[in-house]
């Protein structure tokens, strides 16, 4: 039998409604004296429960030996617990002469708590009719006079999001909104001219034009909100009010609480939101500009404005349910003063989980500082090859404006793809690091002219030197000697072309289609054909050389294990050793030279040409490599020469010891 909560009111009598299913179950279970025609209290018991379920406590009390006391206590206890649902399941009825004993089971579904279940025994006595022998124990075996039941909840301690070094990533921060009130600003253009130099170093989206345009839009929306509908009474008869201002800048907001402001003077445009650390140094200058207000609130934020922006938006919805915890609840007996006499059921709160990201906050901020040095979209990813744990996913503001390009953006890899081509040549037995190969300034295959950068010509050199100086012509020739599926197969052994499902983040690795012509083979061989690779895929390439096998990437420690659609093939010892020799030469003598104090770094550079949607050619700058147990990739979209990416890698490696 079930009773669902409705609005609480008086406990006046209402017509009794029987729940026949439970009543029939009781009848089937009851045993009665065969010498009597009386079937026992089963029908009366069903009527009592039915009336209780309908909150008709007067009607329910009429089935008891003390109607007045029963009505008061039923109303009090049920009202105090306020269940979403009450189910009373009846069991056997044992009868002995004029007395019967019934077993029942209570299931209270309590709001903001759980389901509270317990058994009870009811005694029925026969006078003129069967009546329930009333005591508070009818409600609960331990309940006494002048007592009631109460459900209490305890909030769970929320979990935290931390990095690999147990540093809390998101913490409470006071945020100040910079709101311009047009009605209180004598000259919006002058105010914008004064505000932009103060705010743009903190929020690059703020400009004089953005402020002026935002204010105009807020005023237009306010005017539209107060204008009467077509065919209505004149404007003067419309209710007072104005639309809220539209949000502007990075810190989208409104002029008020979501309701139309009382008058035009309350219209405001939120230019941006500033953390307290950014706000306080410029507050005196802001105070000197008329027509501004600075409402504030405390928000949970990462350490910097753009900290790990490419992934926090993805990982937070995954982490939050795990950090939420489970509230605790208990049911207690309380006396008339509210004092707790006894705890009947107790479910302690379960604290939220500590969700640990594999990110290194210090390295993340260092990487973000490095990519902020360039104006083009730039990415710097790093990983621990031995564990597959992702250390940094840094993007500058230009990259963030395009989305998570470091993890899912596919681009021509240029000469970084020679890692795959050289590995395929080593695996096929065509090459060793000491094999002598031709590196002409140009080379033609099936009418396609292939050039080295600036058409440099090394003549006949070792594979190591050709790789170090990034000879396009050499590796175009090598790839034409390989089977059509050699590069796609070898790319997968580096993780490129595989589909990873990583807890907390979405990634792509790239695509390497089989070449159907000699020209395609040649172009794919130096990363300028149909090959597309993401910065994340390039990171896996470097990490694979460092580890010897493709790491299984991880972002959340102890989370759902990463899966991959195919098992990448392992490299032979010859391929592993050969690639380390080649990549070391890039840094020690070739296109990726770094300061010797940075230690033993292995890398491959790439300048990848492309033609933009506007038909204008350009080139991306790449470098991917590793030092010790840290693999990294730097990508600058439209960055031109690869040396620019190498400079950023140099700055990043300086942030931690070799």
DSSP code per residue over 409-437: --B--GGGGHHHHHHHHHHHTS--TT-EE
DSSP 8-state secondary structure symbol assigned to residue 18 = -
| DSSP strand pairing (601-611 vs 617-627) | antiparallel
Q: How far is CA 584 from CA 24, 461, 472, 573, in A?
A: 85, 17, 18, 17
Sequence-distant contacts of 622-625: CB under 8 A, at least 24 apart: 622/413, 622/414, 622/415, 622/416, 622/538, 623/416, 623/592, 623/648, 623/649, 624/416, 624/419, 624/538, 624/539, 624/541, 624/542, 625/542, 625/583, 625/586, 625/587, 625/592, 625/601, 625/649
Residues 603-611: what's their mean pLDDT? 95
**495-534 pLDDT, tens digit each:** 999 999 999 999 999 999 999 899 999 999 999 999 999 9
Q: How far is CA 211 from CA 53, 182, 205, 493, in A?
A: 61, 11, 10, 51
Q: Is the pLDDT of residue 174 over 50?
A: yes
Q: Is the pLDDT of residue 23 over 80?
A: no
Residues 359-368: what's their mean pLDDT? 96
d(CA 598, CA 649): 11
pLDDT of residue 147: 95
pLDDT of residue 40: 86
d(CA 413, CA 606): 7
Percent of the chain with pLDDT over 70: 88
Q: Is the pLDDT of residue 12 over 90?
A: no
| Backbone dihedral angles phi then psi of residue 419, each to the nearest 5 degrees | -60, -45
Instruction: Answer yes or no: are the C-beta atoms of 53 and 2 closer than 8 Å.
Output: yes
Predicted TM-score (pTM) of the model is 0.78
* Gyration radius (Cα) of the chain, Å: 37
CA-based nearest residue to 86, from 191, 5, 194, 189:
5
CA-based nearest residue to 479, from 519, 437, 534:
519
204: pLDDT confidence band, cut at 50, 70 and 90?
confident
With H, G, I as helix, E, B as strand and everything else as coil, classify residue 445: strand
Q: Which carries the bigger pLDDT value, residue 414 or residue 2?
A: 414
pLDDT of residue 9: 42
Chain-wide mean pLDDT for the chain?
88
In which residue are the tokens 């440099």 written?
A: 456
267: pLDDT confidence band, cut at 50, 70 and 90?
confident
Percent of the chain with pLDDT over 90: 78
**139-168 pLDDT, tens digit each:** 999 999 999 999 999 999 999 999 999 999
The domain limits of the chain are 2-145, 171-229+238-301, 361-653
Q: How far is CA 2 from CA 34, 232, 359, in A?
A: 32, 53, 51
228: pLDDT confidence band, cut at 50, 70 and 90?
low
pLDDT of residue 30: 42
| Backbone dihedral angles phi then psi of residue 381, each to the nearest 5 degrees | -110, 150
User: With the C-alpha atoms ordered 590, 595, 598, 599, is the resulting torsion angle positive or negative?
Assistant: positive
pLDDT of residue 55: 85
Range 361-653: architecture per CATH: 3-Layer(aba) Sandwich (3.40)
DSSP 8-state secondary structure symbol assigned to residue 126 = E
Q: Is the pLDDT of residue 254 over 90?
A: no
Q: Is the pLDDT of residue 287 over 60?
A: yes
Q: How is residue 647 written in tokens?
A: 């400079």
The length of the chain in residues reads 658
pLDDT of residue 265: 59
264: pLDDT confidence band, cut at 50, 70 and 90?
low
Instruction: Answer yes or no: are the C-beta atoms of 132 and 124 closer than 8 Å.
Output: yes
- Lowest average pLDDT, out of 199-203, 371-375, 460-464, goes to 199-203
CA-based nearest residue to 592, from 538, 635, 644:
644
Question: Across 426-541, where does the E strand assignment appear?
Answer: 436-439, 442-445, 448-451, 459-462, 500-501, 510-511, 532-533
DSSP run (H or E) holding 49: helix 42-53
Q: Is the pLDDT of residue 300 over 90?
A: no
Q: How is residue 268 written in tokens?
A: 């405001």
pLDDT of residue 263: 57
388: pLDDT confidence band, cut at 50, 70 and 90?
very high
φ/ψ region of 118 (left if φ > 0, alpha if ψ in -120 to 50, else beta) reads: beta
Alpha helices of 118-260 — where are they, by DSSP H?
188-199, 208-226
- 290-316 burial: b if 16+ Cβ within 10 Å, else e: ebbeeeeeeeebbbebbbbbbbbebbb
- Lowest average pLDDT, out of 95-99, 314-318, 463-467, goes to 95-99
442: pLDDT confidence band, cut at 50, 70 and 90?
very high
CA-based nearest residue to 304, from 383, 352, 371:
371
pLDDT of residue 36: 52
Instruction: Answer yes or no: are the C-beta atoms of 472 and 451 closer than 8 Å.
Output: yes
Hey, which of 123-132, 220-229, 298-307 has the most confident mean pLDDT? 123-132
**CATH H-level superfamily of 2-145:** NTF2-like; domain 1 (3.10.450.100)
Q: Which carries the bigger pLDDT value, residue 224 or residue 77?
A: 77
According to DSSP, the residues that pair with 510 across neighbouring strands are 533
CA-based nearest residue to 319, from 367, 363, 359, 274:
359
pLDDT of residue 1: 44
Residues 613-635: what's their mean pLDDT? 95
d(CA 564, CA 605): 27
With H, G, I as helix, E, B as strand and everything else as coil, classify residue 271: strand
């Amino acid at each position: 039998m079930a009773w669902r909560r409705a609005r609480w009111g008086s406990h006046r009598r209402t017509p009794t409604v029987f729940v026949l299913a439970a009543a029939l179950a009781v009848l089937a279970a009851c045993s009665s004296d065969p010498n009597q025609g009386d079937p026992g209290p089963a029908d009366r018991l069903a009527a009592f429960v039915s009336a209780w379920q309908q909150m008709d406590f007067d009607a329910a009390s009429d089935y008891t030996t003390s109607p007045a006391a029963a009505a008061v206590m039923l109303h009090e206890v049920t009202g105090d617990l306020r269940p979403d649902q009450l189910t009373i399941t009846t069991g056997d009825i044992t009868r002995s002469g004029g007395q019967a004993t019934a077993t029942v089971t209570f299931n209270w579904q309590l709001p903001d708590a759980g389901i509270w279940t317990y058994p009870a025994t009811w005694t029925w006595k026969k006078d003129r009719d069967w009546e329930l022998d009333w005591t508070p124990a009818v409600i609960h075996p331990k309940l006494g006079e002048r007592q009631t039941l109460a459900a209490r909840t305890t909030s769970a301690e929320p979990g935290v999001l931390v990095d690999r070094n147990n540093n809390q990533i998101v913490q409470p921060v006071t945020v100040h909104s910079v709101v311009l009130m047009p009605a209180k600003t004598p000259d919006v253009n002058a105010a914008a001219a004064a505000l932009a130099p103060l705010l743009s170093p903190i929020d690059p989206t703020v400009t004089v034009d953005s402020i002026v345009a935002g204010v105009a839009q807020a005023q237009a929306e306010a005017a539209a909100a107060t204008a009467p509908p077509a065919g209505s009474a004149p404007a003067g008869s419309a209710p007072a009010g104005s639309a809220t201002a539209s949000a502007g800048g990075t810190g989208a907001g409104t002029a008020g609480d979501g309701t139309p402001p009382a008058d035009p003077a309350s219209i405001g445009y939120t230019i941006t939101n500033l953390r307290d650390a950014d706000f306080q140094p410029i507050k005196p200058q802001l105070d000197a500009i008329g027509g501004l207000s600075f409402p504030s609130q405390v928000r949970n934020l990462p350490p910097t404005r753009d900290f790990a922006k490419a992934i926090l938006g993805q990982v937070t919805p995954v982490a939050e349910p795990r950090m939420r915890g489970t509230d605790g609840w208990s049911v207690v007996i309380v006396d008339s003063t509210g004092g707790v006499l006894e705890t009947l059921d107790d479910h302690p709160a379960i604290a939220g989980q500590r969700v640990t990201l594999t990110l290194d906050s210090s390295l993340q901020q260092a990487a973000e500082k490095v990519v902020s040095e360039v104006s083009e979209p730039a990415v710097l990813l790093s990983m621990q090859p031995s564990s597959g744990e992702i250390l940094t996913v840094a993007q500058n503001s230009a990259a963030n404006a395009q989305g998570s390009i470091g993890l899912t953006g596919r681009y021509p890899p240029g000469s970084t793809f020679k890692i795959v081509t050289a590995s395929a040549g080593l695996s096929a037995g065509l090459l060793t690091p000491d094999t002598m190969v031709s590196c002409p300034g140009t080379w033609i295959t099936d009418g396609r002219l292939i050039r080295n950068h600036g058409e440099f010509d090394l003549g006949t050199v070792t594979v190591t030197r050709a790789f170090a100086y990034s000879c396009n012509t050499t590796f175009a020739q090598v790839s034409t000697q390989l089977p059509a599926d050699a590069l796609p197969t070898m790319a997968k052994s580096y993780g490129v072309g595989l589909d990873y499902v990583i807890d907390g983040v979405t990634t792509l690795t790239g695509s390497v289609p089989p070449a159907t012509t000699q020209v395609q083979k040649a172009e794919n061989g130096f990363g300028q054909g149909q090959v597309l690779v993401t910065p994340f895929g390039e990171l896996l390439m470097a990490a694979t050389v460092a580890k010897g096998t493709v790491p299984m990437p991880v972002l959340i420690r102890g989370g759902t294990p990463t899966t991959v659609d195919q098992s990448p093939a392992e490299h032979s010892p010859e391929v592993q050793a050969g690639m380390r020799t080649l990549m070391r030469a890039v840094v020690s003598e070739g296109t990726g030279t770094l300061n010797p104090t940075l230690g033993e770094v292995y890398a491959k550079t790439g300048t990848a040409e492309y033609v933009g949607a506007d038909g204008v050619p350009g080139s991306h700058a790449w470098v991917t490599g590793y030092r010790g147990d840290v693999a990294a990739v730097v990508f600058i979209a439209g960055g031109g020469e690869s040396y620019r990416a190498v400079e950023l890698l140099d700055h990043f490696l300086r942030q931690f010891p070799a």
